[in-house]
A and B are shown apart, each in its own frame.
Chain A
Amino acid sequence: DQQVKQNSPSLSVQEGRISILNCDYTNSMFDYFLWYKKYPAEGPTFLISISSIKDKNEDGRFTVFLNKSAKHLSLHIVPSQPGDSAVYFCAASAWSGGSNYKLTFGKGTLLTVNP
C-alpha cells in the first residue's frame, strides 16, 4: 500500500512558467513533509520541507503548500528554469519516538523545463 503518491510520472513546462508538482498521502500520522530533487547518477538533494503545523513554506523560487484536510501537498517552482529538469520526490515522515525519522517516498515526477 503506497502511503505517498505522486500520480504524475512526468511534467513538461516552458522556461519562465510555473511548475506545480503534486503529492498525496494517506497516513494521517505523517507530520513532516519534504521535497527532494534528483539528477541522474546522483543522490537525492534536499529542496524544501514543511511541518504539519504550517500550510506554506517558501524558499526562493520554491514554495511548498500543505492541505492537511485533503492530505495533499504541492511544490511550486516559479519561474521554472532548464536546470530544474530532474526527478522530484515527495517524502513524508511520522515521528516514532527517539530519533526515528523514517522517510516514506513517492515514486517521483520527472520535470522537464523546455527552453
Chain B
Amino acid sequence: DSGVTQTPKHLITATGQRVTLRCSPRSGDLSVYWYQQSLDQGLQFLIQYYNGEERAKGNILERFSAQQFPDLHSELNLSSLELGDSALYFCASSAPPGGPVTDTQYFGPGTRLTVL
C-alpha cells in the first residue's frame, strides 16, 4: 500500500459528460502528479501541483483541469468527454514537508474511466 488513495476505482460515463477524479496523497506529501495510461501507452504525465500551486504541465488537454486543495488532496476534472479519453488515470505524490524533494513518486491504484 503506497498510502495514496484514489476514488472512484471505476467510472463509466457517456460522451459529452464531465467527471471528477479524486486523489489523496500520502500523509503530508506536498506534491501531487496526475498521469494517464491509455491502451498500449506508457504513463503520460498530465499535470503537477505542489502545495496548492500548479508547477508543471504535460500533455493535458484544455478540456481537462485540476486543482489541489488546502488539505493537499487533488481533483482532476475531465469535461466534454470523448471515447478516446477512456484510460487509467493515476495520481502520484511525493515531497513530504521538511524532507528531501526527490524524484521518487508513489502511485495510487488508479481510476479506470470508460467513456461510452
Cross-interface CB contact of A46 among B90, B95, B104, cutoff 8 Å = B104
Q: Is the CB of B95 within 8 A of A102?
A: no
Number of interface residues, chain A, beta carbon within 8 A: 27
What B residues does A93 contact at CB under 8 A? 103
Further contacts, 14 of them, CB under 8 A, given A99-B31, A100-B48:
A32-B102, A34-B104, A43-B6, A45-B107, A89-B42, A101-B103, A102-B33, A102-B48, A103-B105, A105-B35, A105-B42, A105-B45, A107-B40, A108-B42
Which residue of the partner chain A has the closest CB to B108? A43
When A36-B107, A44-B90, A46-B105 are in contact, do A100 and B55 touch as well, CB less than 8 Å?
yes
Give A residues with C-beta under 8 Å from B.
4, 32, 34, 36, 41-46, 49, 89, 91, 93, 95-96, 98-108
State in angstroms the CA–CA spacing of A36 and B107 once bound together. Answer: 10
Q: Is the CB of A96 within 8 A of B56?
A: yes
Q: Can you name 5 A-B pairs with beta carbons within 8 Å?
A: A46-B107, A99-B55, A100-B48, A101-B48, A104-B45
Say whether B14 faces chain A, with CB atoms less than 8 Å apart: no
